[in-house]
Chains A and B, each alone.
Chain A
Amino acid sequence: MKNAPLQKLLLRTQKPSQLLAATFGAMLGLSLILIAVQMYFNFRNILNAPDQGIGSQYLVVNKEISVLNSLNLGNSNFETAEIQELSKLPFVSAVGAFESNQYPAKASLNLAQFGVNNGFVTDIFMESVESQFLDLKPSQFQWTIPTSNQTSLPEVPIILPTDFINLYNFNYAPSRGLPQISKDVIKLAPFQLLLGDPLKKSMLVNARIAGFSNRIGSVLVPINFLRYSNQQLSQNNSPAKPNKLIIAAQPNKLPELQNYLDEMGYETNQELMRNGKFQTLLNVILGSVAALGLIVIFVAVSSFVLYLQLSITQSKYELETLLRLGLSHHQLTRWYVQGIALILLGISLLSSAILYTTNHYVYKHLIRLDFQPEKHIHTQVIYAGTALILAVFLVQYKTIKNQIFQLSLPSKPK
């Protein structure tokens, strides 16, 4: 049937302002929820990205150094039993021990080929940890044990803490009038490591920076290289006990872990701990935005339902007459539902536009901050949006159907 006379009949009774307000509310609520979900995935990507672990749930733990240690009377090593106890805790998913060099080591850098005259030599230390605890695994971060007939050792890849290059670039270099060095340039620098005591037994090996870690504040080398060099150069034969551990905490269990560590007198990097809490805080904020969105949607849908009920009640005469002329309640319901579907389609399109624009803006902003966020709208966001729109549609459809069906029933006054 043609709709033009119906529109004139049924839309006459209601002012559009309430419908506009409800539409705007539903659009706002939907947008808030979708943006919250998209941001959750955006930030989850960033927080869990292997080399951007600002919220990594990994902690480097050591024992507190007391006066006794300084007097060489105490020791800060972890016993096997202590490590086992840690790894059995419910909020700990894995524990790794740091191994370190047990021989003197120097690193030197000759920058002559870069046109810089003063190279440098420095004493260094090296550490290793099982690769599962690393926040970045560059493909070059591998070392093969040399065969007996190899004359020179393979080049050693090194991972430096990001703080090191920052300290150099922003503190050391300006004070000495040295050029600042980018991460990419420093990766090209040919280091040489002199390992062991040159008077007794030593090794010379080329090294190169393979990457920078945010998670571990130490000079890292592949574990098989460390074990090989220790075996070759160390004076004492028994492997040293670890004095630093890396702990992978269960998601969102950092507070429990913190309590345990405090109790045991272990120290950890408070910054990392804060980052872990930051992730929890971010989840709370996004959850709140989503909850706010849900409340707004609920209010908007209630307002929609009220509008529809009022609209149908005010059009009672028209609807009853149309029913008397032979229109079925299905046809009338369909007419209303088509209108609602159009409105919801409009809401979906507008919310999608808002979501896309916001995500684009956030993406550009995060890229500028050197993160790698999600560029596209996450599929889960599309699912969530579709589910919400369908739910809203169902509520409205039920409202319309019930009300018009009531009108179509033969009346039985008491």
Chain B
Amino acid sequence: MITCSFVIPTPLQEILPPEAIWNHDIKFVTGQTYQIIAPSGRGKSTLIGLLAGLRGDYSGQIHINNRNTQQFTTQDWANWRATGASFVFQDLRLFPNLTALQNIQLAQNISQPIATINAIEQWANQLQIKHKLMQPCGELSFGQQQRIAILRALAKPFQWLMLDEPFSHLDPNNTQLAWQLILEIAQQRKAGVIITSLNPYANILCDHTLSV
């Protein structure tokens, strides 16, 4: 379980919107899906950054599995990112000179291999991207790269899947396919999902929706 108790990111302290996710007591329960909908500049990516341990500029308290993250060491964060949570960042963070498959497998090499090459190919097939697996990521379109980043996140172990505007460059059909795959695998692993977007998706239904 992840709890955010009256968290305010430092850059948002001046312009804090009244009914934000910020400065409230919010619980994210493992196994549940959460959609956070907000316009730009309201701190969607900041929330993912805080939960990934990438930034520490906030007031309030964040607890991950009942531990205050202020007390996390860099090694605790590394462990969390290796097996606790898996991310799709808004800027994707793929390696353009590695092939799509190498990108996916790199994450696997870091933690325990959890998906076989067959599984990865099957997932890629579901997302209609299998034929791009051997191409360098730098040569793929942003929408194709988004799907590779989703596959990379799915291929490593996680209790939480955190996706920052993962479908921004996908058409509704591909969005639907990707969301299905995400839900399927998250349910298999009894994992929680946090997904952010600018607008509500017509074909995505989450257990909880937090609108800012």
Contacts and interface: CB of A to CB of B under 8 A. Distances in A.
B171 interface: no
Given A411-B54, A411-B56, A328 B74 contact: yes
B56 A410 contact: yes
Nearest to B53: A410
Interface in A386-414: 405, 408-413
Given A1-B110, A9-B95, A9-B98, A323 B81 contact: yes
Contact of B102 (A5, A320, A323, A324): A5
B27 interface: no
A35 B60 CA distance: 62
Given A1-B109, A408-B78, A324 B57 contact: no
A244 interface: no
27 contacts: A1-B110, A5-B98, A9-B97, A9-B98, A318-B95, A320-B93, A321-B93, A321-B95, A324-B52, A324-B87, A324-B93, A325-B81, A325-B152, A326-B156, A328-B74, A328-B78, A328-B79, A328-B82, A329-B78, A330-B75, A408-B77, A409-B56, A410-B54, A410-B77, A411-B55, A412-B57, A413-B11
Nearest to A330: B75
Main SS of chain B's interface residues?
helix
B154 to A, nearest CB: 13
Contacts of A330: 75, 78
A375 interface: no
Contacts of A1: 109-110
Interface string B71-101: 0001101110111000101000101011000
Given A1-B110, A410-B53, A326 B78 contact: yes
A327 B107 CA distance: 9
Nearest to A408: B74
Interface string A1-26: 11001001100100000000000000
A325 B106 contact: yes
Nearest to A322: B110
A408 B208 CA distance: 32
Given A1-B109, A5-B102, A9-B98, A326 B53 contact: no
B111 interface: yes
A113 B132 CA distance: 103
Nearest to A409: B74
Given A328-B78, A331-B110, 8 more contacts: A326-B78, A326-B81, A409-B74, A410-B54, A411-B54, A411-B56, A413-B11, A413-B55
Contacts of B54: 324, 410-411
Nearest to B97: A12
B89 A324 contact: yes
Interface in A330-378: 330-331
B55 A412 contact: yes
A155 B57 CA distance: 98
A326 B52 contact: no
Contacts of A327: 78, 82, 110
A171 B195 CA distance: 105
A326 B98 contact: no
Given A330-B75, A411-B57, A412-B55, A325 B97 contact: no
A346 to B, nearest CB: 27
B103 to A, nearest CB: 9
B74 A324 contact: no
A328 B93 contact: no
B23 to A, nearest CB: 19
A252 B165 CA distance: 79
